[in-house]
Structure 1
Amino acid sequence: MIYLDNSATTKVHPEVLNTFVAVNEKFWANPASIHTFGHQTNELLQSAREQIADILKTSNEKIFFTSGGTESNNLAIFGLAHKYKQRGKHVLISEIEHPSIIETAKKLSEIGFDVEWIPVNSEGIIILDTLEKLVRKDTILVSVMHVNNETGAIQPIEELSKIVRAQSRALIHMDAVQSFGKIPVDFKILDIDAITISSHKIHGLKGSGLLALKKFVEIEPILYGGGQESGIRSGTTSVPLAVATAKAIRLAVTDLQNNILKLQTLSDDLMVYLNTFPSVKVISPAKKAPHIVTFSVQKVKGEVMINALQEQDIIVSTSSACSSRQTKTSHVLKAMHISDDYIKGVLRVSLSTLNNQQEIDQFKIVFKRVMNVIKGD
């Protein structure tokens, strides 16, 4: 099997799995317990927090462990909006966000916040001129994902930040689920206030992730209970998952530039090949993350192509794994105004550093075979 659906989830790295097992075997105490074993477990938890804070360039107390990207995004949108609502109730969200942002923003709207949507151009990149017109003095929160999960488009976060900072006191949240470990991400590089990371997208374990805040940024909790995670995320913290997440994050940034080059080489090769087919439209823009190539076959449903490729041991997806089983058209593709001929036939190839050139070459052979049968190309 050739697995090319890494934006949906990745294979767990052996070192991450070994870390998780080892912590479960040796440090199973509740980190909130006052006995020595509890203290030792808590020290391990705080060490994991420190390692992540060092990588993201923030302070230890601003790393909050969660169950993954969806919870982190909910916490960011609800928590920041409520914390700073005394400044205003205007919130800006891009049209192409993950459902965990879109649906949370809709809930904010229902309870009295003024939510507006930032449009994107035909490449799926936010329109900065429109953003500049939308930002107001009472804007309190702007949320734009770094890399789009369906197309790989990289959003102009640096330019966005300059616009928002010049016109408001708004906090900037960035969903980095698809960018961390693929392109550089930290608070020093990007002038933002909150970052979401999901472990299972970077060869970590499912059910784990984090929300990181910039120093001095505050947030309201959305879970209440025993006051764990500095009162922001109540519930007994899973130390094994937290330590495994720290391990996955460390591995993801190790030799990052060489990994980017490897992924870029593979995806560039694939894009050149796909452009040779007259009935294939490459949807991923030129300014994209190195691990995602999204394209569409004219007047062919994506499910048909996926099944045909799967029969020959090639695993890809239609778009986002969160919506691939649903029949409705992707909100991202709608926002990009993809034509009817192509909007139902979208395929996403997403790579990891575990992939290699031989696998891409095999994909080409199989794809050509499938296109001959389905399209006669």
Structure 2
Amino acid sequence: MLYFDHCASTPPYDEVVQTMMEVMKSEYANPSSLHHAGANADKLIERSRSMLTDRLQASHGQWLFTSGGTESNNLAIKGIARQYAGRGKHLITTQIEHASVYESFAQLEQEGFRVTYLPVSKSGHVRIGQLEEALTDETILVSIMHVNNEIGTIQPLGEIGRLLKRFPKVIFHVDAVQSLSKLPIPIKEWGIDLLSGSAHKLRGPKGVGFLFVREGISLYPMFTGGSQESGFRPGTQNVPAIVASAKALRMSIEMMERRESRMKQLKQMLIGLIGEIPELKLNGAEPAASHIIHFSYPGMKPEVIIHMLEQHGIMASTRSACSSKDDKPSRVLLAIGASHEQAAGGVRISLGDEHEERDISALAASLRQVVGQLKPLERRLT
């Protein structure tokens, strides 16, 4: 089997699995308990928190542990909006955010907030001028993802951060689920106030999310009932998964540069091979993440392609796993100007540490066979 769905989830490192098992066996006490066993469990959490701070050079704030990227995004966006509603009720995001961001803003609109959904260029990038024009005296939050989870475009966060420094009342949130440990993120230099991540996207366990909160920022909690995570996210922490997640992040960061160089080569190879299949149309443009390649077969249902690739032993996806069962055209592709047929026929390939050139060749060969089988059936399968 060739697994090309690393944007949805990644295989955990063997060392991470071993660490999680060991901690689960030895540190089963509640980290909020006052006895010695509880204190030991709490120390492991704080050690993991310190590791994130050191590795990501974010000493000007704290890291919270959540259940995943979706919760981190929800807590950041709704927590800021509700906490600082007295300053203003205008929020800004983009048309191509992950569903956990996009739908959080939609929910806040129902609560009386006004949201500006910035358009993007045909390459999928935010225009700084349009962001500046959208800012008002009532704006309290700007939330823009680092790497798009469908087409991989990288947003100009450095430029955005420099712009927002002129607006000290505005809080800057970044969804970095698809970039954390894959690309450098100078949190302080870019002026990022909140940043979301997810452990299972970087070869850690499922069920752990990261949320950086800059010093001086408060969040309206989504839950009540405890003082854990500074009161912003009450509930007993998952100690084994948190410790394993911190280890996965450390390991992924240590190999980031080497991985990036290899991924670029594999991506360019695959783009070249897909370009030889005239029925397929590549989506997105540089600058983009090296682990994501997205293409469409206009007029063909993507789930048909996915299931036929699976018969060849290849696992891929249509869009984010959270939206994979939605048969509507991709909101992201429509936002970059794709036709309805193109937006409805998208397939995402996402690369991982295990892939080599022979895997890319095998994927391309399978794609050619699948397209050859499907071409006579185009009209009947749309």
* TM-score scaled by length of structure 2: 0.95
Q: Which deviations, in whole Å up to 9, do the C-alpha atoms of 1:86-106 show, x marking residues without a partner?
A: 321111011111111111111
- Tell me whether 1:201 sits opposite 2:206 in the alignment: no
- Distance (whole Å) between structure 1 residues aligned to residue 189 and residue 278 of structure 2: 40
Unaligned runs of at least 5 residues, structure 1: none
Displacement of 1:278: 2.1
Change (3 A) 1:102 1:167: same
- SS in structure 2 at match of 1:221: coil
8 Å contact 1:154–1:287 — kept in the other structure? yes
- Tell me whether 1:109 sits opposite 2:99 in the alignment: no
- Distance (whole Å) between structure 2 residues aligned to residue 308 and residue 38 of structure 1: 51
Displacement of 1:187: 1.3
Q: What amino acid is the match of 2:328?
A: K
Name the counterpart of 1:46. Answer: 46
What pairs up with 1:7-156 in 2 under 5 angstroms? 7-59=7-59, 62-156=62-156
- Distance (whole Å) between structure 1 residues aligned to residue 45 and residue 322 of structure 2: 30
8 Å contact 2:60–2:215 — kept in the other structure? no
Unaligned runs of at least 5 residues, structure 2: 377-382
- Distance (whole Å) between structure 2 residues aligned to residue 263 and residue 311 of structure 1: 25
8 Å contact 2:61–2:214 — kept in the other structure? no
8 Å contact 1:182–1:256 — kept in the other structure? yes
- Distance (whole Å) between structure 1 residues aligned to residue 2 and residue 16 of structure 2: 22
Displacement of 1:223: 1.0
- Distance (whole Å) between structure 2 residues aligned to residue 61 and residue 291 of structure 1: 29
Change (3 A) 1:117 1:61: closer
- Tell me whether 1:307 sits opposite 2:301 in the alignment: no
Q: Which deviations, in whole Å up to 9, do the C-alpha atoms of 1:96-117 show, x marking residues without a partner?
A: 1111111111121111222111
- Distance (whole Å) between structure 2 residues aligned to residue 168 and residue 51 of structure 1: 29
Q: What amino acid is the match of 1:181?
A: S
- Distance (whole Å) between structure 2 residues aligned to residue 212 and residue 168 of structure 1: 18
- SS in structure 1 at match of 2:177: coil
Q: What amino acid is the match of 2:26?
A: K
- Tell me whether 1:291 sits opposite 2:291 in the alignment: yes
- Distance (whole Å) between structure 2 residues aligned to residue 198 and residue 266 of structure 1: 24
What pairs up with 1:264-279 in 2 under 5 angstroms? 264-279=264-279
What pairs up with 1:136-215 in 2 under 5 angstroms? 136-167=136-167, 169-215=169-215
- SS in structure 2 at match of 1:87: coil
- Distance (whole Å) between structure 1 residues aligned to residue 41 and residue 347 of structure 2: 44
Q: What amino acid is the match of 1:297?
A: Y
- SS in structure 2 at match of 1:266: helix
Displacement of 1:164: 2.2
Of all paired residues, the percent bearing the same amino acid is 38
Q: What amino acid is the match of 2:131?
A: L
Q: How many residues align?
A: 376
The range that moved more, 160-169 or 283-292, is 160-169
Displacement of 1:162: 1.9
Displacement of 1:360: 0.6
8 Å contact 2:277–2:368 — kept in the other structure? no
What pairs up with 1:330-341 in 2 under 5 angstroms? 330-341=330-341
8 Å contact 2:264–2:291 — kept in the other structure? yes
Indicate the RMSD between aligned Cα atoms, in angstroms: 1.5
Name the counterpart of 2:221. Answer: 221
Name the counterpart of 2:238. Answer: 238
- Distance (whole Å) between structure 2 residues aligned to residue 253 and residue 218 of structure 1: 28
Q: Which deviations, in whole Å up to 9, do the C-alpha atoms of 1:213-245 show, x marking residues without a partner?
A: 123322221111021111111111111111111
- SS in structure 2 at match of 1:367: helix
Structure 1 segments, 4+ long, off by >6 Å, are none
Displacement of 1:15: 1.0
- Distance (whole Å) between structure 1 residues aligned to residue 256 and residue 12 of structure 2: 18
